[in-house]
Amino acid sequence: MGWHGRAGGRCSGQGSGLARLAALVLLLVVVFGLPLPGPGGRSEALGWPPRPTAAPAAAPLGVAAAEHLREVAPPGAVQQLREALAERQPRLRIVSPAPEALLPAGPWTLRLQVEDWPLVEGGALGLGPHLLVAIDDGEPLVLTSPETTLPELSPGSHRLTVMAARPWGEVVKSPGAMAQIRLHRTAVNSLALPEPGTAQLLAVSPGAAAAEPLLLDWLLIDAPLQHLRDDDALWRLRVTVNGDSFLVDRQTPLWLRGWRPGGNALQLELLDGRGEPLNPPFNSLVREVRLDPSRPRPAWQGASLSDADLAILLGEAPPAVETQELQELAPASIPAPTSAPPATPAPAGPQTAAEPEPEPEIEPELQPEPEPELQPEQAPAPEPDLPPAPPLVAPAEPAVTEPTVPSPDPDDLPPMAAPEPDPVQASLSPTPTPARVEVNADGTLRRDPPTGPLTAWRKRLAR
């Protein structure tokens, strides 16, 4: 009896010890996640939902995963320009406004200091090296001058980012080629900006193009370093074009074919190593990329560049002026040639007589000249058939201007032939005979003496 009592107490003590051990094992399973038997593990055994595991995004890396897009080599002219700009190390600094400046309402001026980077507007060839200015995560503005005026900022806090860009729009990703400050208007709103030192994504690929392939480029600021060892994926960029997605893990620009004409939907999302959004909501961007064949095609989209075009795009030579521009400027700078002949009429002379067209314009100026010659007091000689010497001949004879030389006797002068009429007057005046010959000394009209066989008899009868 005593033995049974002792055995029963020993069994009850062993049962309680087993219960405690089972409770301890269950506690270890719950706390440390030890696996339980069964196809679903401890989650299925306990009826809990599966625990998420850290894994990269499901989509594979590279453009090859896309269905309609494919990566191609850049145009040949792009490779020429890249080699020519390879030695350049652009350095940018924002001179004004100052960091954390509180700007007033209205437009404001941006001043930059640019070193070792030409700013070129290549005319018909397109852009050369230039700058891109982005407010927050908006579409960048092209800048070819270190100073410009920008529109008014909306109230609140903003990011101002300036980047050096190559002629085809790719951002230079070397140290010093980018500058960023924070600006405010009306009041500071720090919650509208990402925390300093956290990852930022900016889309810088062109918003429109004339032909494929199209450049896809972006800029990451303060992104985590990766590729230092195997399996250290800390960020991924998911690219979606018209619903076709793929992942990239390097800041390498892409030249893509497969865009459709017109508008294309582009979405860029920065993810962490597990495929979750990185530093949301600042790093999810949507853009529209337009493929418009009617747009001017820049020179860098060609297969190659001539030495002259390469010098223009690098800023080593001025852009050539187009023939159409010269024709548009010609009417404003050169007077019309049709207005030159009427503005320079020549006086009466042999040169003007040879030109038949100006006769109607000169005739009204020469018609009033015979009127003062009809006055009787201007007749110098009593003989009606001897007109006075032309006034232009007298200054040429020095003897006439000297008072000491006596005037010759009219009787001693040899008979003078009638001067030949001026060719201009002969061609312009309707009367071939000068008016001076048709008037007598007393002002009466002179008549030629009659001629014929009875003229002598009439003279005798008149005596």
Over residues 271-301, the pLDDT tens digits come to 998 899 999 999 999 999 999 999 999 999 9
pLDDT for 374-413, tens place per residue?
Answer: 444 444 544 545 555 555 444 444 444 445 555 555 555 5
Other Cβ atoms within 10 Å of 353 Cβ, number: 19
**Is residue 282, in this structure, part of any structural domain at all?**
yes
**Is residue 301, in this structure, part of any structural domain at all?**
yes
> Please, which residues bridge with residue 148 across strands?
110
**Is residue 106, in this structure, part of any structural domain at all?**
yes
**Is residue 344, in this structure, part of any structural domain at all?**
no
User: How far is residue 282's CA from residue 134's CA, in Å, rounded to a whole number?
Assistant: 14
Question: Could you tell me the residue range of the domain that residue 134 belongs to?
Answer: 63-313
Greatest Cα pair distance, the chain, in angstroms, is: 216
* Residues of the chain where predicted confidence (pLDDT) is lower than 70: 1-17, 27-60, 321-457, 462-463
Contacts of 65 (CB under 8 A, 6+ apart): 59, 245, 246, 247
**Is residue 431, in this structure, part of any structural domain at all?**
no
> Is the distance from CB of 206 to CB of 266 less than 8 angstroms?
no
**pLDDT value, residue 212:** 93
**Is residue 47, in this structure, part of any structural domain at all?**
no
**pLDDT value, residue 292:** 92
**Is residue 22, in this structure, part of any structural domain at all?**
no
User: How far is residue 404's CA from residue 168's CA, in Å, rounded to a whole number?
Assistant: 94
Question: Whose CA is closest to 201, among 221, 177, 224?
Answer: 221
- What are residue 271's phi and psi, to 5 degrees? -120, 160
Report pTM. 0.59
**pLDDT value, residue 440:** 66
**pLDDT value, residue 352:** 43
**Three-class HEC string of the chain:** CHHHHHHHHHHHHHHHHHHHHHHHHHHHHHHHCCCCCCCCHHHHHHCCCCCCCCCCCCCCECHHHCCCCEECCCCHHHHHHHHHCCCCCCEEEEEECCCCEEECCCCEEEEEEEECCCCCECHHHCECCEEEEEECCCCCEEECCCEEEECCCCCEEEEEEEEEECCCCCECCCCCCEEEEEEEECECCHHHCCCCCCCEEEECCCCEECCCCEEECEEEECCCCCCCCCCCCCEEEEEEECCEEEEECCCCCEEEECCCCEEEEEEEEEEECCCCECCCCCCEEEEEEEECCCCCCCHHHCCCCCHHHHHHHCCCCCCCCCHHHHHHHHHHHCCCHHHHHHHCCCCCCHHHHCCCCCHHHHHHHHCCCHHHHCCHHHCCCCCCCCCCCCCCCHHHCHHHHCCCCCCCCCCCCCCCCCCCCCHHHHHHCCCCCCCCCCECCCCCECCCCCCCCCHHHHHHHHC
> Is the distance from CB of 49 to CB of 42 less than 8 angstroms?
no
**pLDDT value, residue 224:** 87
> What CATH number is associated with residue 204?
2.60.40.10
**Which tokens sit at 342?**
């009427």
**pLDDT value, residue 65:** 77
Number of structural domains in the chain: 1
Percent of the chain with pLDDT over 70: 58
**Is residue 209, in this structure, part of any structural domain at all?**
yes
Place of tokens 């600006």: 183
